[in-house]
Structure 1
């Protein structure tokens, strides 16, 4: 299994600046071609790292989450990775080998590793290998609710979470749910959605959840609001609440993406 990640680098002067990048009032598309060296950022408390900020809360757009693609050099990492005690995180490893500690527990991470880190958790992350490592990092402030305890930390792997086919799809559309949808301690889900070639969302989904979709593998034609957009590995889609969406998987390999959505809480008034 392969997992896309920003390409970095910089195109040479012969390359046309024309792009499929889009930013509208309802959605944004950040193609892999836009995720270059000159748009990286750095964080205090980290060493040997850089990151692409793919999504951040914006007033009047998508407001619940941030999403980064983080690259760690050999020896890079942090003893204090999270500055916000109210922030929960999901980490999904795309390449390289990482060491994660949560309290006193130590975990070795590889491509496909998935980690949930609750708000207030004490954790560290380092690249102890000789090769560069990369991971996707999704963050959201946890919203408590009466009678609901905070979730527990979790470390698992893509291969260990069974895809659940959507009803009446003959398995061409399936979702790997890393968290039980009925576990109301969680107020965000980060899943992997897979469409086999030709599989589709057969209606325009229109719903309250905000989305971040990072294409891990394959290609598709994706409906965003009124527009059909061709997307492929490394492309990121950022959807405001109620933005209509659907897709048709193209090509001859499965179309897979990492999907964020906010769930299970009252709407703030």
Structure 2
């Protein structure tokens, strides 16, 4: 018996289009008090959004701050047509961003320098950095855009912009897993200037999170490759490439990678800051 060969690296994107009238409506989409699952089958043309000052671009808004749910971030999938993009993409001067390209190519310009990003390309863009973006190619480009308001700390400098590709970042194996569970970390966890991490988590077939993680960090998880059974609060939910999971703070979570290929997802989490307290005493 031989192992099933793993396909070349590919990043799942939205399906788009519109299902036929004959399709059964039952799906895996769910929104609860602790988590939401947006499966790839509901990311259709009819739910896209358009933004001011963006040319030939549409977006699937996967997450936005909701009072009483997840409150720290927003996450979009952008589809930029050839010639599209923006000279004023970020309307909030206090918002930092991460871009991760899954198809096509874009050019991000910052401080007069052009940075080409192809599939696997990653950019960290500090708050107020004044970046621009364009699709200079002849095919549509698809990318994730994660946004979070930066929480500055007196005495700590703000982090600088950087551009890379996941192929240039070695995954770090979780202790005791023989490399079957690993994280591609684009930022050093000990760098306290950063108040969010956007990483890639990889599980080999059969690997798992062997306990119910329950913690303060909010999560956005977009499945890039493979499939798994994911524990979300009290439920086990089957997910696959193209699905998005949205978790509020303290939602218990675990997973089991079902194979036959590796299971990989893009992960957002808020980190490195005190819990904000309401009000105060004079």
Q: CA deviation at 1:175?
A: 0.1
Q: Give 4+ residue runs of structure 1 displaced > 6 Å after superposition.
A: none
Matching residue within 44, 51, 68 for 2:59 = 51
1:206 to 198, 211, 214: 214
RMSD (Å) for aligned C-alpha atoms: 0.5
So what's the TM-score if we normalise by structure 2?
0.95
| Match of residue 234, structure 1, among 236, 242, 258 | 242
Q: CA deviation at 1:122?
A: 1.3
Q: Report what 1:162 is aligned to.
A: 170
| Structure 2 gap ranges (5+) | 1-8, 278-282
Could you tell me how far 1:119 is from its partner in structure 2? 0.3
Q: Which runs of structure 2 are paired with 1:96-107 in the superposition (5 Å)?
A: 96-107=104-115
Q: Is contact 2:204–2:259 with CA below 8 Å preserved after alignment?
A: no
Are 2:234 and 1:257 equivalent residues in the alignment? Answer: no
Q: Which residue of 1 aligns with 2:147?
A: 139
Contact between 2:122 and 2:163, CA under 8 Å: does it hold in 1? yes
Using the alignment, how far apart are the partners of 1:227 and 1:166 within structure 2? 25
Q: Counterpart in 2 of 1:247? A: 255
Separation (CA, whole Å) in 2 of partners of 1:147 and 1:181: 18
Pairing 1:15–2:23 present? yes
The residue number in structure 1 matching 2:38 is 30
Match of 2:159 among 151, 159, 167: 151
CA shift, 1:109, in A, is 1.0
Are the counterparts in 1 of residues 199 and 267 from structure 2 also a CA contact under 8 Å? yes
**In structure 1, how many angstroms separate the alpha carbons of the residues matched to 2:113 and 2:158?**
19
TM-score (norm 1): 0.99
Unaligned runs of 5+ in 1: none
Q: Which of 217, 224, 228 is matched with 2:232 structurally?
A: 224
Cα drift, residue 5 of structure 1: 1.1
Alignment partner of 1:65 is 2:73 = yes
Instruction: Return the offset for 1:105.
Output: 1.3
